[in-house]
């Protein structure tokens, strides 16, 4: 009987010790967690701050002063729009040391060309009615806009030498070349002829509404009257 009471006492003491030990461990774990969490948060904030320093977000600060250089009245009849894609390769320093100092990029350009006629160049002498027929001498068609779409244009690839960070104006030069090539492609495809035909088709409807059913469009410079 005494042995049984002894074992019960021993087991009771062990249970108390276990509970006390578990409580101490739990308190220490909670304290460590409370200490670690601010450190982790500080580390995360520090990493974010370092990333912002190394890769700062650009800040755009427009100057509040606006200067208007010129104001003009326009009477442009836009009759055709081309959407063109060109691939431009721009490079510099591609000599024997190109692997060290060279720079090369491939630029994919998306742009548009708008052409038509400037009707401010149309004078009264360019309109003449004979025997019920309206003779019209239209101004020469021209390209009004050659513009790159910055949202769709991009640098596809760029390779720089081991000892250079690249030519700072290379992409700008590629963009200028792209605009020239887009305009050239539109010229070669006959954009001005199409602009003229579309203008004549549009004006036909306008002149009919004004009562001129027969319209003849003249080309070239008129012969001076003696």
Sorted by sequence, the CB contacts under 8 Å of residue 66 that are 6+ apart come out as none
Q: What is the pairing mode between strands 214-218 and 133-137?
A: parallel
* pTM (2 d.p.): 0.65
Per-residue pLDDT tens over the stretch 101-134: 788 999 999 999 999 999 888 888 998 999 889 9
Contact 76, 130 (CB under 8 A): no
Q: What is the mean pLDDT of residues 146-164?
A: 90
Contact 110, 185 (CB under 8 A): no
d(CA 154, CA 179): 14
Give the helix ranges, DSSP H, for the chain: 2-54, 98-101, 170-188, 191-209
SS3 of residue 168 by DSSP: coil
pLDDT of residue 20 exceeding 80, the answer is no
Which residue in this structure is represented by tokens 């060309």? 113
Give the residue, 6 or 220, on which the prediction is more confident: 220
- Take residue 64 and report the two structure tokens written for it: 């509040």
Rounded to 5°, angle at Cα 76 from 75 and 78:
150
Per-residue pLDDT tens over the stretch 56-100: 677 777 777 777 776 766 678 899 999 999 999 998 888 777 678
d(CA 188, CA 199): 19
Per-residue pLDDT tens over the stretch 183-209: 999 999 999 999 999 999 999 999 898
Give the residue, 29 or 75, on which the prediction is more confident: 75
Which residue in this structure is represented by tokens 């250089």? 69
Which residue in this structure is represented by tokens 């692997």? 99
Confidence class of residue 11 from pLDDT cuts 50, 70 and 90? low
In this predicted structure, what is the pLDDT of residue 179?
94
């Amino acid at each position: 009987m005494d042995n049984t009471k002894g074992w019960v006492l021993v087991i009771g003491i062990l249970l108390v010790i276990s509970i006390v030990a578990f409580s101490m461990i739990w308190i220490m774990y909670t304290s460590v967690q409370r200490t670690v969490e601010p450190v982790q948060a500080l580390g995360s904030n520090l990493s974010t701050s370092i990333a912002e320093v190394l890769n700062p977000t650009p800040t755009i600060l427009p100057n509040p002063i606006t200067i208007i250089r010129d104001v003009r009245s326009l009477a442009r009849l836009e009759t055709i729009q081309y959407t063109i894609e060109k691939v431009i390769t721009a490079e510099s320093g591609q000599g024997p040391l190109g692997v060290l100092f060279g720079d090369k990029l491939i630029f994919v350009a998306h742009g548009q060309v708008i052409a038509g006629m400037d009707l401010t160049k149309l004078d009264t002498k360019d309109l003449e009615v004979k025997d019920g027929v309206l003779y019209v001498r239209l101004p020469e068609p021209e390209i009004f806009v050659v513009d790159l779409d910055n949202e769709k244009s991009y640098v596809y690839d760029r390779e720089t030498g081991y000892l250079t960070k690249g030519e700072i104006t290379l992409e700008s030069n590629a963009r200028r070349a792209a605009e020239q090539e887009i305009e050239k492609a539109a010229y070669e495809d006959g954009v001005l002829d199409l602009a003229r035909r579309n203008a004549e088709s549009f004006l036909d409807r306008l002149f009919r509404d004004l009562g001129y059913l027969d319209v003849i469009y003249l080309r070239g410079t008129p012969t001076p009257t003696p």
